[in-house]
Amino acid sequence: MAIDGGRVFDWRSIVNFRTIVALSCVLLMGWFGAAMALDHQDVFLPGETSEGHYLFEASCASCHEGFKPVSNDTCMRCHEPEMATDVHGRKKFLDPRWAGELAKLEVLTCTTCHSEHIHMFDRGVHLQPDLCMTCHEGIIQGDLASHDGFTPDGCWTAGCHNYHDHRSISTGFLRQNLDQPPMLPVQVLPDRVVTTELDTAPAANLSQEFLGGAS
């Protein structure tokens, strides 16, 4: 296209690669800023949330502090009671006898095994199905005759084993309870006493509920 002075106007002198990149960055930053300002952080979800954590999708701050990785302390806000009887707990792996196993898998960090927003298997927080084989591969390779022919992903996906609580099938538990009947004479549910501290339900803000009002 010709302009005054006989010069030719070339649109590529304005719309070039650098300009496109700069405009894309501005638009992206504006989109992120709007999402944060309008409290729509769910746009940052990198993948599917596990079934047990769908409730938290509307309150990212319940688990995340900014964009930092989830810490053990965050997980324990909800899961501390069930971890009280954890047979694979921190105390076990601080024992030097298990240093070799700890070197294979950093099990002292919750997110080593539990990967949220990365769909692997519906049970639990997306555990890798063959995770047990990191330390126990010998079990299905001849160390235990009763497990010959078992698949690497069958330990817990089949419902047999629970990493954090396998007392009912551990050798120690069996030795201590060999004289016990297979079932109680009368099956009853234990009494549970729940003491409430609030007269009314808290506001629907999980970050405030877990953090005790702190931001």
Q: What is residue 192's predicted lDDT score, i.e. its pLDDT? A: 79
Per the structure, how many domains does the chain have?
2
Q: Say whether both 55 and 95 belong to one domain.
A: yes
In a domain, 197, yes or no: no
- The pLDDT tens digits for 35-76 are 555 556 666 677 778 877 877 777 777 888 777 788 898 888
Task: Give dist(CA 195, CA 67) in Å, integer.
Answer: 35
pTM for the full predicted model: 0.58
Whether residue 107 is found in the same domain as residue 8: no
The answer to whether the CB of 128 falls within 8 A of the CB of 111 is: no
Helix (H, G, I), strand (E, B) or coil at 114: strand
Q: What is the pLDDT of residues 139-161, one digit of tens each?
A: 899 898 888 889 888 887 777 78
Q: What is the pLDDT of residue 209?
A: 52
Start-to-end CA distance of the chain, whole Å, equals 58
196 in any annotated domain: no
- 31 and 115, same structural domain? no
Closest to 57 in 3D by CA, of 70, 69, 43: 43
Inside any domain, residue 154? yes
Q: 102: which residues sit within 8 A by CB, 6+ positions away?
A: 93, 108
> What is the domain extent for residue 17?
1-38
- State percent of the chain over pLDDT 90: 1
Would you state the pLDDT for residue 171? 67
Characterise 124 by phi-psi region: left (phi > 0), alpha (psi -120 to 50), beta (else).
left
Average pLDDT, stretch 120-129?
71
101-105, 141-145, 172-176, 198-202 — which is least confidently predicted? 198-202
> In which band, very low, low, confident or very high, does the pLDDT at 31 lie, cut at 50, 70 and 90?
low
- Residue 58 forms part of a structural domain: yes
pLDDT > 70 in the chain, percent = 73
DSSP code for 127 = B
203 beta partners: none
Domain identity same for 59 and 34 = no
The pLDDT assigned to 1 comes to 47
The answer, yes or no, to whether residue 204 has pLDDT greater than 70, is no
DSSP class of residue 169?
A: G
Q: Report yes or no: 8 and 1 within 8 Å, Cβ to Cβ.
A: yes
Q: What is the pLDDT of residue 213?
A: 45
Inter-residue contact 117 to 46 (CB < 8 Å): yes
Same-domain pairing of 62 and 160 = yes
Average pLDDT, the chain: 75
Phi, psi of 127 (to 5 degrees): -80, 145
Alpha-carbon span 33 to 44, nearest angstrom: 12
pLDDT at 197 over 70: yes
Residue 188 lies in a domain: no
- Tell me how far apart the alpha carbons of residues 88 and 215 are, in angstroms, rounded to a whole number: 32
- If asked whether residues 101 and 169 sit together in one domain, one would say yes
- Asked if the structure places residue 150 within a domain, the reply is yes
Phi, psi dihedrals of residue 162, rounded to the nearest 5°: -125, 115
Mean pLDDT across 94-119: 86
Chain-centroid distance of CA 17 in Å reads: 40
